[in-house]
Copies of this chain bind each other. A is one copy, B any other.
Amino acid sequence: MAKVLIPLAEGFEEIEAVCLIDVLRRAKIEVVIAGVGAINIAGAHDIQIQTECLLSEIHSKDLDMILLPGGWGGTKAMADDPDVMRLLEEMDADKKLIGAICAAPFVLNKAGVLKYNYTCYPSVEEQIREEGYTQEHSVVTDDNIMTSRGPGTAICFGLAIVEKLKDTQTAEALKEGLLAEYC
């Protein structure tokens, strides 16, 4: 069973984090929710989620993917966290999957793991790079890096990850069950 780490740092975007965790768990993918600096983490809209462990306890060798929710507060906290940086570098060196949505591709860029083609929340590309950025697709995959745009694309991003880690049939069945025919 694939194992995916989703770190939550204070100020994370709640719709993005929860859509990703929920959709992946519906697909029977193991998701570890880890707190950056604390166990109880408040999102950008003050929804408190109790994580399952501290990010500092996580080893990249146990993971198949690391997946970052957006929200500027959470994104900046992750970009400043040495454990997030180390995990991203190790996962990329091992050619493992890395995902980020909304503002969080900024963190991948800072860690030097973002590939050429990517997407992110509109205007965040100004703090990453214009080249290679597209807003034409909800999800962009380049090599081992998957990126997506924002709250409204989070379910679709989850389904694209399910397709990658499991198969198209599982993703299609989930899409129908979620009533997300727009993905």
A interface vs B, CB < 8 Å? Answer: 13-15, 18-19, 21-23, 25-26, 33, 40, 43, 45-50, 121-122, 149-153, 155, 178-183
Contacts and interface: CB of A to CB of B under 8 A. Distances in A.
Contact of A21 (B26, B47, B121, B182): B47
Copies of the chain in the assembly? 2
Contacts of A46: 25
A183 B182 CA distance: 10
A25 B45 contact: yes
A65 B40 CA distance: 28
A115 to B, nearest CB: 22
Contact of A181 (B13, B49, B121, B152): B152
A47 B19 contact: no
Nearest to A48: B50
Contacts of A47: 18, 21-22, 33, 49
A124 B122 CA distance: 38
B155 A180 contact: no
Closest 6 CB pairs of A and B: A152-B180, A152-B179, A48-B50, A182-B182, A150-B179, A18-B18
A149 B179 contact: yes
Nearest to A43: B22
A19 B150 CA distance: 13
A22 B19 CA distance: 12
A179 B179 CA distance: 17
